[in-house]
Amino acid sequence: MGKILKRKIKHTLPIIVIFCLLNILTLGFSFNLNLNFVKVQERGLVKMAIGAQADTATTSVIVKNAPPAFSVSPTEVPTSTSTTPVNVGGSIGFQATGLDGEGDDYWLIICSTNSATSTQPGGLPTCGVTEFCLSNKASSSVSASCTYNNVTDPGAETQAWYAFVCDDHYGDPHCSLSGQGSGDGGSPFYVNHAPRLVHLYTSVDNQDPGVNFTFTASTSDSDVLGGTDHMNLYVCATTTGWTAGGGCGVGSTLCVGSSTLNTSISCTYATGIPRMHGAYTYYGFVKDWHGLAASQGNGTSSTYNVNNVAPTISNVTLNQGNNITLNIKNAPAVLVKASSTSVTDNNGCTDLSSATSTIYIESATSGANCAADDSYCYQIGTSYCSISKCSGPTSATAAVTCSTSMAFYAMPTDASSIASTSSWYAKIKVADAPGLKGEASYTVLNGVEVVSASALEVSELDIPYGTVQAGTNTGATNALTTIINFGNTPIDTEVSGTDMSKNSIGPEIIGIENQKHLKTAFNFNAEGTVTSSSTPDTVQTDVSRPTSAVDVSNPIYWGIAVPFGTPSANFYGQNLFTVVLDKYDNWQYTP
């Protein structure tokens, strides 16, 4: 028996152990996973109880659908405050979570008043007055949100709101009591009103190119909560392309200003240089510091006026800084130029219209305002001045050149001259568009010298002694030569000569010492200076410096003696007339 028992136990022991282990495992699961066997049992008990009461009493109750409730209070998304209001026309979101007792889906609805109702059958809830937004249907205990777009102006700076969660219980939908949230995210939300651009004008106008203009906009803004709204002004060259977020269209921004005031706002703008004078249109746009563009007046235009400024000229040069060597009489007059490459007009070089110039001797009466006189003063009109090197309206600089033909007798100022302490100068005046404004002038800094030129012409081709009998002389009969001053200095004349040869080849000659000369008519027998071949004689012809194109001349008289025995023939010789500067007389210097 004991063995049998022992064997039975031995056979059943593993089963018992396995059973025990399974029980332990089950209990472990039940405790750890919190399996509720008791409830199942209780349900069984209830059924048993109903069954047990069926024959004792009958009661009934109709359970009505209960409205959902906020499990998470409604709030604004994003939160609006007095400093971060929602713009009129903008959007504001709302968010809340509803919990429905029967697990019904629900809507979140935001109303302007504390009134919202659900509609039958299964319709969307509605607000008593104004609905701001209605969410999509959400499951119970799941967050719902909606956005109030195109916020209308409530008039005030705040707008109260009431949130409701309304279920979609079939046949008996209900809305919760209203919720308004709390704190910044609660009702009301703050509304920012658009400013208005009342008046746009150029408060600092009529400026030169490159100088600041001030554009001012009168504005109004009724918002005061959180402080008066700051204003931004955009001044654009064009009316198109402006946005509250991006400002003026590409390349059209003139200036941008901001102001802590809500009544006036300015910005400054300097034109580039050059800028043509005249009126320029601009357009103003205003937005407040909440990025809300003005509801009125944006795109208003006004004008600013750029002054016509006088051109400037500097660094005038005369004959490129070189001394002036004139041609002598009957040669083409030398062209002399006064010029400058430093001419500017900040309205643009195309605004330059004309130039005039004066080339004058420093000692001239009234200087550059001297009366025209070819000895001292050349007034050059606009016809003889040219404006060049203007590359177009985008350039301010140009060059000007004025030219004149300088007479052969213009007063010299070099070391040879009586006017050596003086020099020649040039002044150029440039003017812009006629009738508008301005001229500018500049005098050459260092004068240049007109160089003395001593020149002569003898009117006669030869000395006309005519026929003289051998052994006699010309007596009181003189041959005449006329010395004409061809230069710009007074002159004397140096004379010398060669022996006269028979038929130009000799060998018979009439020696040069047989010729006499004098600046006045003379009798060969009593007067006259013997002419020499080796020692020239300076005849004080004293021919004055010309002061006009009219010939200025003086004569030299000649006589000859033909020695006795000189054969009858034609005799030829050559006399030399050399011009000599008469430095101290007859300059006719009356500037």
Partner 1 sequence: MFKKILLLALILVLFLTWATATQAGFGVSPPLIQNHQLTPGSTYSQQIMLLRSSTDDDLKAEIKVNAPDIASWISLDKGESFILPKGEYQVPVVVTFKIPKSAELGNYTGSIDIKVAPAGNGAGGVSIALGARVDIDLALTNVYQSDFLVRLVSLPDFERLGSPWNWKIWSPIFNRLFYKIKVVMNIENKGNIKIAPSKVAIEVWDLNKQRMLQSSVDKSIKKINPFSTAVVTAEFPTSLPAGQYWTKVKIYKEQEIVNYYEIAFTIAEPGVLGGNNLGIWPYLVAAALILIALAIIAILIKVRFWRFFIWLILLPTKPVWSAMINFFKALNKKFWQWIARQAEKHKEEDKKE
* Binders of partner 1 in range 366-425 (CB under 8 A): 395-397, 412, 414-416
Could you tell me if 165 and 108 are in contact, meaning their C-beta atoms sit under 8 angstroms apart? yes
Could you tell me if 101 and 66 are in contact, meaning their C-beta atoms sit under 8 angstroms apart? yes
355 binds partner 1 (CB under 8 A): no
Q: Could you say which of 192, 216, 252, 452 contacts partner 1 (CB under 8 A)?
A: 452
**Short-list 496, 481, 518, 507, CA closest to 574:** 496
Closest to partner 1 by CB, 298 or 553: 553
Angle at 210 between CA 204 and CA 216, to 5 degrees: 25
Using CB under 8 A as the binding criterion, the count of chain residues that bind partner 1 stands at 74
- A 10 A CB-CB count for 263 gives 14
Closest to partner 1 by CB, 74 or 490: 490
Could you tell me if 115 and 128 are in contact, meaning their C-beta atoms sit under 8 angstroms apart? yes
Name the minimum Å distance from CB 535 to partner 1.
11
Q: Could you say which of 50, 61, 461, 526 contacts partner 1 (CB under 8 A)?
A: 461
Residues 246-275 that bind partner 1 (CB under 8 A): 273-274
576 binds partner 1 (CB under 8 A): yes
562 binds partner 1 (CB under 8 A): no
Closest to partner 1 by CB, 327 or 477: 327
C-alpha–C-alpha distance, residues 361 and 375, integer Å: 9
573 binds partner 1 (CB under 8 A): yes
Closest to partner 1 by CB, 230 or 583: 583
Residues 10-29 that bind partner 1 (CB under 8 A): none
Which of the stretches 59-67, 340-348, 356-364, 377-385 binds partner 1 when contact is defined by CB under 8 A? 340-348
C-alpha–C-alpha distance, residues 53 and 47, integer Å: 10
342 binds partner 1 (CB under 8 A): yes
| Segment (H or E) for 19 | helix 2-33
Name the minimum Å distance from CB 338 to partner 1.
13
325 binds partner 1 (CB under 8 A): yes
C-alpha–C-alpha distance, residues 451 and 49, integer Å: 146
577 binds partner 1 (CB under 8 A): yes
Pairing of strands 189-192, 196-204: unpaired
- A 10 A CB-CB count for 512 gives 20
**Short-list 475, 477, 472, CA closest to 562:** 472
The dihedral built from the CA positions of residue 347, 350, 351 and 356, taken in this order, carries a sign that is positive
Which of the stretches 16-24, 135-143, 242-250, 484-492 binds partner 1 when contact is defined by CB under 8 A? 484-492
Burial degree of 58 (CB within 10 A; 0-12, 13-18, 19+): exposed
Which of the stretches 33-41, 58-66, 87-95, 442-450 binds partner 1 when contact is defined by CB under 8 A? 442-450
Site map for partner 1, 522-561, x if CB under 8 A? ------------------------------------x---
Residues 158-217 that bind partner 1 (CB under 8 A): 208-211
Q: Could you say which of 305, 314, 379, 382 contacts partner 1 (CB under 8 A)?
A: 314
C-alpha–C-alpha distance, residues 141 and 391, integer Å: 77
C-alpha–C-alpha distance, residues 572 and 568, integer Å: 13
Kindly report each contact of residues 154-158 with a partner whose C-beta sits within 8 Å and lies 24 or more positions away, as own/partner: 154/191, 156/191, 157/82, 157/85, 157/190, 157/191, 157/192, 157/193, 157/222, 157/223, 157/224, 157/225, 158/188, 158/189, 158/190, 158/191, 158/225
Closest to partner 1 by CB, 130 or 394: 394
Closest to partner 1 by CB, 58 or 534: 534
Name the minimum Å distance from CB 29 to partner 1.
45
Closest to partner 1 by CB, 208 or 585: 208
C-alpha–C-alpha distance, residues 508 and 506, integer Å: 4
464 binds partner 1 (CB under 8 A): yes
Name the minimum Å distance from CB 364 to partner 1.
21
343 binds partner 1 (CB under 8 A): yes
Name the minimum Å distance from CB 505 to partner 1.
13
445 binds partner 1 (CB under 8 A): yes
What 3-state class would DSSP assign to 355? strand
C-alpha–C-alpha distance, residues 151 and 93, integer Å: 11
Q: Could you say which of 295, 382, 578, 588 contacts partner 1 (CB under 8 A)?
A: 578
Closest to partner 1 by CB, 192 or 441: 441
Q: Could you say which of 140, 307, 481, 566 contacts partner 1 (CB under 8 A)?
A: 481
Q: Can you read off the two tokens belonging to residue 274? A: 């050059």
Q: Could you say which of 328, 433, 436, 521 contacts partner 1 (CB under 8 A)?
A: 328
341 binds partner 1 (CB under 8 A): yes
Residue 465: half-sphere exposure toward Cβ, Cα within 13 Å: 25
